[in-house]
Amino acid sequence: MKVFITGEQGFIGRNLIERMQQYETMDFVTGNLTADSQNMIYHKEGEPCVYLNDIGAWKEFFSKNNVDVVIHNAASVGTDVVALDPINSTSTNVAGTYNICRAAKELDIPVCYMGTTVIYDTKNYQDKKIEESSDRGPVTLYGCQKLCAEDIVKTQTSKWMIVRPLFAYGGVGDMNSLIAKSIYGSLNGKKDIDMFLDPTKIKDYMHVNDYCDAVLTAINQNMWYQDWNVAAETPLMTGEIVDMIQSVTGLDLESVIRWHPKTDYLGNHMLTSCKFRNVSGWSPKISMETGIRMSFESIIKSKGYNPLKYLEEAKERNIDLTEFY
C-alpha cells in the first residue's frame, strides 16, 4: 500500500512517516516537500511543482506515484497562526482540502483526514468527555476552517475517514505543546514563558507515537466512512502536568511560567476514544511520565529553536492574540 502524506514536513507528518516504517504493509510516497509563505507547494526533485489549488497537477502526481491512500495532514495549524493570517490559512485549510479531495475522488483514492477536536462545542462539555457524536460549535476561526474541511472530506471523496487527536505531543518536531514550550522555554533561558492556559483546567495529552499508530491501524483495518476520536484518556490539570515536567526534568518552571487563564477558551477538554478502541483494538502505550522523559531527551539532543515565534511576532505587530481565543 503506497501512502502519500500531505504536510510530511510538519509535526504529525514527520512522525507518521517515522512510524510507518514499522508497518510492512505500508510504504510512503515522498516528494522532498517544501512550502512558501503564500501556498503549500509539493515538489519532487526533477518534477514540476504541485500547488494545493491545482487539481490537475494533484491527479498527475497521484497517478505517477501509484498512490493508494492519501493522508491529508497539510494545514495552517493553531488558533494563533490562523489569526495572524486568516486569508491564506483559509485557502490552505479549506480550498486546499477541497482540491486534494476532488483529485483523489476522480482516481478513486481514499482520503484519511487529520481532524481536530476544536470543532466541538467545548463549553457544553466541561464536565464530560466528548464523543464523536457530540455537538459541533467551534469558537475560533481555526475550528471553523477544520469543521468546513471535514464536511468537504465527507462529501467530495469516494472513501474517507476522519481521525481527531487530542493534544498530541513529543516525537519529531514538537514545538507547540505544553510540554515542548515548557522545556524549550526553560532551556532557552526564558524568564517569562507565557501559557495561554488555565492551570486548574483538565487536558488529556497523548504521545504522538500513540496517535500515529492509531491512524495507521485505522487505515490497515479499512475503518472507512467513520469519524474517530483518539485520546490517551489520562486527563490531568495543566498545572499538574507542569509539576510532572519539573519532577521528570529537574527544570524550574514554577518561577518562569506565566499563566493566562482567561484565554483558555477550551477549558476542560476530554475525549472518549471508546468507539475507536472497541473497533480497532488500539490502546496507547506511552504514559505521560515516560512521554515527558522522551521529549526532554529528544530536545536536549536537538538544536534549539523558538517555539514561541508566533506570539513574539504578534507582539511585534501589536496584535493582541487573546481576542481570538
Other CB atoms closer than 10 Å to residue 38's CB: what's the count? 12
- The stretch 8-23 carries a mean pLDDT of 88
Please give the angle made by the CA atoms of 8, 29 and 143, to the nearest 5 degrees: 35
Q: Scan for cell 501589536, then name that residue.
A: 318
Report the SS3 class of residue 228.
strand
Q: Pick from 61, 32, 63: which is nearest to 45 by CA?
A: 32
| Lowest-confidence region among 66-75, 132-141, 291-300 | 291-300
End-to-end Cα distance, the chain:
40
**pLDDT tens string 263-299:** 888 899 999 999 999 999 999 999 999 999 999 888 8
- The stretch 173-181 carries a mean pLDDT of 90
Q: How confident is the model at residue 253, as a pLDDT?
A: 92
Q: Scan for cell 516528494, then name that residue.
A: 31
Tell me the C-alpha distance between 239 and 65, whole Å: 47
Residues 261/266/267/272 CA torsion (nearest 10 deg): -150
190 φ/ψ angles, rounded to the nearest 5 degrees: -65, 130
Q: Pick from 219, 210, 225: which is nearest to 282 by CA?
A: 210
User: Strand 160-165 vs strand 202-203: parallel, antiparallel, or unpaired?
Assistant: unpaired
Report the SS3 class of residue 272.
coil
**pLDDT tens string 240-269:** 999 999 999 888 898 899 999 988 888 999
Which residues lie across from 182 on neighbouring strands? Answer: none
Which residues lie across from 40 on neighbouring strands? Answer: 35
CB 169 within 8 A of CB 208: yes
Q: Pick from 236, 260, 129: which is nearest to 179 by CA?
A: 236
Report the SS3 class of residue 232.
coil
Tell me the C-alpha distance between 3 and 215, whole Å: 12
Which residues lie across from 202 on neighbouring strands? Answer: 237
Tell me the C-alpha distance between 201 and 205, whole Å: 13
Give me the domains of the chain, ranges plus CATH numbers: 2-324 (3.40.50.720)
Residue 37 has pLDDT above 50, yes or no: no
pTM: 0.86
Name the DSSP class of 306: -
Report the SS3 class of residue 98.
helix
Q: How far is residue 40 CA from its own chain's centroid?
A: 16
